[in-house]
Amino acid sequence: MTSIGRGESIAGRGDAPTRPRCFALVPCAGIGARAAAQGPKQYAPLAGRPLVAWTLESLVQVEALSATLVVLAPDDTQFDALGLARPGVAVARAGGATRADSVAGGIDALLALGALPDDWVLVHDAARCLLRPEAVQRLIETCRDDAVGGLLALPVADTLKRSTAEGALGERVELTVPRTAIWAAQTPQMFRIGLLREALRAGLARADLSITDEASAIEAQGWQPRLVRGDFDNFKVTWPEDFALAERLLRARAG
C-alpha cells in the first residue's frame, strides 16, 4: 500500500498500455450511521478481521485488476492503525461528504497516479465484504468491450410494497410495485474513468439529482449501463443484523 505523493504511480511506467486497464476504487470514508456500530462500519470486527479487510482480500485476488485505490476521509487514522496496508492497494485521503464526492475525489487521484481517461474504474462498496473474485471477473469480461459499462445486479424476486408516511398506526402499504424488469443494484460498477468523471461532475452540480450509485450518474447523462448478474451474498452490510449474517457466511466459506 502507498499513500498518494508527488510523482508516485500505481498505473505502471513506460509506454502507454495497448489495452485499457481496470482499476478498483473503494470509497471508504463513511461513518456507518445505520449500522449502529462503534465507529465507521468498514472497520467493525467481522470474523476476526476488520470488515473492509475482507473486501480488499477479494479485490486483490482479481488478476484483471491493475490496482485498487481506497478512498479515505482526510482525517482517517484507523486504516493504518489496523494494519490494512497490503501490496496492490493504494490510499487516497480524498473522501468527501457523500459517496459521490468520495468517488469523484478517488477518480481524480487515479488520474494523478497515472490512470488514463479511457481506462476502466470498478467502484465497489467497502461494506460488500462477501464479494466473490469470480463475480468481478465476470463483470470485467462482460463489459470490457461495451460502449458504456455496467454493474453487478440481481433481478428482484420479492413482491415489492411502497409504504405510506408513518402515522399513528405505523407505516402501512400504499400499493404493490410491479417487480417485472426490476433489478437490485450491487457493486462493483464499471465505467470508463473519463466518462464517470464527467457524469459525476454533472450530477454533483445538479440540486435535483440524487446520486446513490455510479450508474445513476451515468443514467442521468442518457446512457444505459449493462446489467450483469451478481450473487445473492454480495449484499451491503448496512443494518446491525447484517453483521451476524455476514459473519456466518464468511465462516462457512472458510470451512
What's the confidence (pLDDT) of residue 24?
98
Query: 53: pLDDT confidence band, cut at 50, 70 and 90?
Result: very high
Residue 210 lies in a domain: yes
Q: Is residue 59 part of a domain?
A: yes
Q: What is the mean pLDDT of residues 150-174?
A: 92
DSSP letters, 146-210, are: -SSEEEEEEE--SPEEEEPPPBTTB--EEEEEP-TT-EEEEEEEEEEHHHHHHHHHHHHT-TT--
Average pLDDT, stretch 171-196?
A: 96
Residue positions counted in the chain: 255
- Mean of the per-residue pLDDT values of the chain: 91
Confidence of residue 4 (pLDDT cuts 50, 70, 90): very low
Would you say residue 101 lies in a domain?
Answer: yes
Report yes or no on 181 lying in a domain: no
Classify residue 179: in a domain, yes or no.
Answer: no
| Total domains in the fold of the chain | 1
**Host domain of residue 118:** 2-147+186-254
Question: What is the share, in percent, of the chain residues with pLDDT greater than 70?
Answer: 90
pLDDT exceeds 90 at position 109? yes
Q: Which three cell numbers stand for residue 81?
A: 492503525
In a domain, 161, yes or no: no
What pLDDT, on a 0 to 100 scale, did the predictor assign at position 112?
96
Give the pLDDT confidence score for residue 19 in this predicted structure.
86
Per-residue pLDDT, averaged over 223-238, amounts to 97
Residue 95 belongs to some domain of the structure: yes
Q: Please report whether residue 176 resides in a domain.
A: no
Of 8-22, 23-37, 96-110, 133-147, the least confident: 8-22
Euclidean distance between CA atoms 60 and 67, whole angstroms: 8
The reported pLDDT for the residue numbered 14 is 46
Torsion angle of alpha carbons 118, 124, 126, 127, nearest 10°?
170
Residue 82 predicted with pLDDT over 80: yes
**Predicted pLDDT at 62:** 98
Average pLDDT over residues 54-75: 97
The CATH number that applies at residue 72 is: 3.90.550.10
